Structure 1
């Protein structure tokens, strides 16, 4: 104990010296500013207001607001509910400071550490992780709030330093559950042979007017940006693949018509159908993301029509893998021989067996209100409560699982919830599963998620393979890109032999550096 006191004594001397120095400062407008700022930060009201303003705009600022609020909750709880009761310390005596600096009703709880400093540092750090530019604006305000606690005499300088350290550490710790994506496009090999399409010349574009916002018709904007493209619209009752194939057959018989590329305006489902046709005909693909979520376009790095125009004019494209799943017929079925052929389907993002499609549906339904990770945990708990285990054979072993996930390319982060792809041309499948044959598996996987330790749980499995053969004990549903498309007892997953060139603007050429993540 005496040794501890000897270590603390120099800190106390420094604290008292700083407080005495501040007490000698003459009255000024700074006193009013510090009082107002420290009061505004009570109960983190200031930071919640800033978070509300940041959340008004979609993209990185909204993610920054969500991460900031999460960091505040963790930092405030750690400082006020854990550290203060365990490490009690007297606050500075109000009599040692002039009245024009002190608060009329100073707090009486333990001085160590500063909860205000912890919340301020946590919020500023968390925002900076998602949006460094916004973080640079918020950091000075956070520093001023932290200093204000010493200026108005309710904390020692070491209280503030400890609180700021705690808040920063907690904000950085959120990356364990909520990984930070630094760039908004995955790595992929550039394609030198993609033809330039100035104004959409040589482009056959299919616009899905039923995708995305029901109050917005993209046809006019697409025609304005790509005036030389041949534009078709989706016909209800006919699949996109059938319409594109029919359009290509008609163009083959027309003199002087040469289709250089296919284009799709819509969401992942529409783009996936277009990619399958493009791969069959050896054509590059133009993606205009106007669906609800546009996972594929976000991974590629295409966000709007301006980027589409830039990339097609310059002939800039990257090679992208296309996932393929072969649906094998049930050998014991009494169906006609025509139904006993292997059907092939393609997928851009993910395929799954079991309860995963329902999990994705619930997560995406709740995500706008709660954020991705809280929505995922809630959806997982609901789905695991309702789900029935699936008996399935893969990787040469029979297993009982809640679901089997197959990603078109390795997803990040490993050992956690798959969120995005760092590369689009790896030639590998990302295979993940949740075991149902372990005692209390549902409770264990929920606890592992909450602790950020899913990758170390016995309930969770993951590997990367070029091909995967799956056999179900009882024929079950297959979902690709979130939509249930097949029901069979055996599936074979692989990566298509040929990659699909997808137009993407070369950010190095346009800006000289990779573009930061924006949504």
Structure 2
């Protein structure tokens, strides 16, 4: 005989259902308050002004990105002025208090929606297994990564005190990192680790996976996305070394792109073309603004054809393939990964060719310009022999068609037993899913 305690699945489902219903109730109130206050005759005008202001602002932002010269700056001016004009019109209609109340209700609706759609903590917990101390750990460190974090946090000395052999990546004649890792394995290393960026992490991770060795991530890069999704301390990379004396193992997936390993993602289209530009490193913002008009209209890059399982997406402006899907609390679904052991790739494509599609993306409801999938394989093709790809932040030219696959549980990652942990991604406010949750039994 089973009881229905507070922690049971039935109780959790009922709780999420009521959060979903509360979200709909608050959303309806957010719309109703200014309309009712305006009176029946003015309600239509209030609705037109509010929706029209959003449409004009999104359209102007699109034209700011898609054009150059005087038209670009006129579009930016319109985008800035649109919400100001709407606010002034509401003030003149003596509806400022009602609009403020509607904004508060809308924020509460979003919070309730996320509470309803958020997964349980158990959904984001990767299984840990005990890990014996390594006898001959070899750590490869890039002294220049992350603005010099290896020296700043004294990582070499601390690692050597814990019994690790440290190999520094410095000097123009240094052998490539994959070769260094393979030499370490041949010399008897029983653990490989990296203090560096995600691109370097991926290459050594590939060698560790091929030899079934544990892999240690030290968050000494600039962004450390892989370390973040493993729940490691990104503020103090020296804490990652605690895994050498008191560690546990996580079995996580490893992505492959044309055979090359990646731990985070591979990007095609707009982002890959921008990163490939020689001017990008010195002037990121200027390069993006200069290249986007041609990229958005398809004049700069070769058209892409993306096959995601049984789905084919033609001519997207951007494609992102990730080692496990990202959370989807922002427009493109790129946030953080709750888990790295689901055994699937995440695939996001973005196609924005006109103002209507830009507004549709903002709505997130059946937007034709945005697709999100999980799959075991993604193939990206183009009418060129090679296509630019950003792999874990590094710009590469790869032979087409480019094939991305996933190796479930291929990587044994050694992490400290005591670590910050993974903060779950915020749930996307998906009103279709929310409606099903609220009233489907």
TM-score computed with the length of structure 1 as normaliser: 0.54
- Residues 350 and 405 of structure 1 are in contact (CA less than 8 Å); yes or no, is this contact kept in structure 2? yes
State whether structure 2 residue 405 is matched by structure 1 residue 494: yes
- 1:68 corresponds to: none
Matching of residues 244-263 of structure 1 within 5 Å: 244-249=181-186, 251-252=187-188, 259-263=189-193
Match of 2:372 among 459, 462, 483: 462
Q: CA shift at 1:379, angstroms?
A: 8.7
Residue 182 (structure 1) shift: 11
Does residue 1:85 correspond to 2:92, yes or no? yes
Contact 1:183 1:516 in 2 (8 A): no
Q: 1:293 to 1:361 in 2, by over 3 A?
A: farther
| C-alpha deviation, 1:504, in angstroms | 2.8
Residue 209 in structure 1 maps to residue 114 in structure 2: no
**Could you tell me how far 1:358 is from its partner in structure 2?**
3.9
* Structure 2 residue aligned with 1:348: 263
The residue number in structure 2 matching 1:30 is none
Q: Where does 1:33-432 land on structure 2 (aligned, <5 Å)?
A: 80-87=87-94, 113=97, 165-166=101-102, 168-169=104-105, 171=107, 187=124, 189-197=126-134, 202-214=136-148, 217-218=151-152, 220-224=154-158, 226-227=160-161, 228-235=163-170, 236-237=172-173, 238-249=175-186, 251-252=187-188, 259-302=189-232, 303=234, 304-326=236-258, 344-358=259-273, 383-384=295-296, 387-392=300-305, 394-395=307-308, 397=312, 399-413=314-328, 416-432=332-348
Q: Distance in 2 between matches of 1:210 and 1:276?
A: 22
- Between the aligned partners of 2:365 and 2:332, the Cα distance in structure 1 is 6
Q: Deviations over 1:397-416 (max 9, x none)?
A: 47222232211111110762
- In 2, the alpha carbon distance for the partners of 1:223 and 1:311 equals 16
Q: Work out the CA distance in 2 between the residues paired with 1:367 and 1:165.
A: 42
Listed as ranges, the gaps of 5+ residues in structure 1 are 9-72, 89-111, 114-161, 253-258, 327-343, 370-374
Q: Give, in angstroms, the shift of residue 203 of structure 1.
A: 1.6
Corresponding residue for residue 153 of structure 1 = none
1:474 aligns with 2:390: no
Per-residue deviation at 1:393? 5.1
Which structure has the higher relative contact order (CA within 8 Å, separation 6+)?
Answer: 2
1:420 deviates by 1.4
TM-score by length of 2: 0.62
Cα contact 2:126–2:339 (8 A) shared by 1: no
Over residues 440-469 of structure 1, what are the superposed CA-to-partner deviations in whole Å (9 max), with x where a residue is unaligned? 7243443345xx324632122221111223
CA contact (8 A) 2:139 2:166 kept: yes
Post-superposition offset of 1:345: 0.6
Q: Cα RMSD (Å) of the superposition?
A: 4.5
User: Which 5+ residue runs of structure 2 have no aligned equivalent?
Assistant: 1-32, 38-79, 426-441
Q: Distance in 2 between matches of 1:312 and 1:182?
A: 32
Which structure has the larger Rg over C-alpha atoms?
1
